[in-house]
Amino acid sequence: MDYKIENEYLSVTVTTWGAQVKSVVRKCDGVEHIWQADPEVWGYHAPILFPHAGKVVDGIIEAKGGRYPAKQHGFARNFAHAFVTQTQDTIVLELTASPETLEIFPYAFSLISTFTLEGDTIHHSLTVENLDEEPLPFGIGYHPAFAIPFDGSHRAEDYELRFSHSESPICLNCLPHGLVHGDVYHLAPNIRAIPIDDQLFANDSHCMVNLRSETLGLYEKGTGRGVVCRIEDFPYTLIWSKPGTPKFVCIEPWHSLPSPEKGSKKWEEKPAAAILAPGESWTCCLSTAFVR
């Protein structure tokens, strides 16, 4: 089911399927900024990555004496999240453990998504609560896809990614299996911008670590129009699109990484964003501004 929130700047649609932002339209010009999930290209809008970001070894986790299938980026993006409450500019959705989730993840939990509009900005907070009797390790990340071009008079090469500070991004190489194995590379030295072109994502995503910038934005050259994500509270920020001419660009702040290539399948041994004691909770937030 879809729900709409709005203010004088933005009209936003949130779908309960995966608790995704499905649409963001800037009222001043009617531009749709969210990728519309064409299944022949990539069938998501802005998925939540939970209880892990990226892949795990052999697609299996071992926990509580059992073995469970674990697809890339976890399962939260493929479940309907329950409606909790709504005002004109806020909506709250929740995913809790169910017989279906317990078949693939043997922990009791609550994952609350709160979407709030403030001027030209959407704040999407995620709160994880451990409802289990055992400690809950988990990973988490955001994966919003922003559509380009913004209008029919521009092309993909009219856009660039801009940091708020000069960067020499160090990236983790997770090829060929999508798992961490210790190799790193420099995306480019001493840059403020990354041009969008047909080759940028030829080898998949770029996982940047230890950036000092507060923001990373997708900007239209020469106009000032852009989508700007606050990344300062996240240790990892990925950029990704499908190979070829990009129809969208994802800016993905993560709090955890894929499993190490030779790492353990045991869930409690996987590097985590947090490990919650029973009854504890943890919150993060991605703020995204749609600027002119």
> Which helix (DSSP H) or strand (DSSP E) does residue 99 occupy?
helix 99-102
pLDDT tens figures, 254-284: 999 999 998 999 999 999 999 999 999 999 9
**CA 245 to the chain's CA centroid:** 21
pLDDT tens figures, 15-25: 999 999 999 99
Tokens 């709504």 -> residue: 86
pLDDT tens figures, 48-75: 999 999 999 999 999 999 999 999 999 9
pLDDT of residue 202: 95
CATH architecture of 2-291: Distorted Sandwich (2.70)
Please report, for the chain, the start and end positions of each structural domain, with discontinuous segments joined by +: 2-291
Q: Exposure of 203 by Cβ count < 10 A (0-12 exposed, 13-18 middle, 19+ buried)?
A: exposed
**CA 194 to the chain's CA centroid:** 19
Tokens of 285: 């937030």
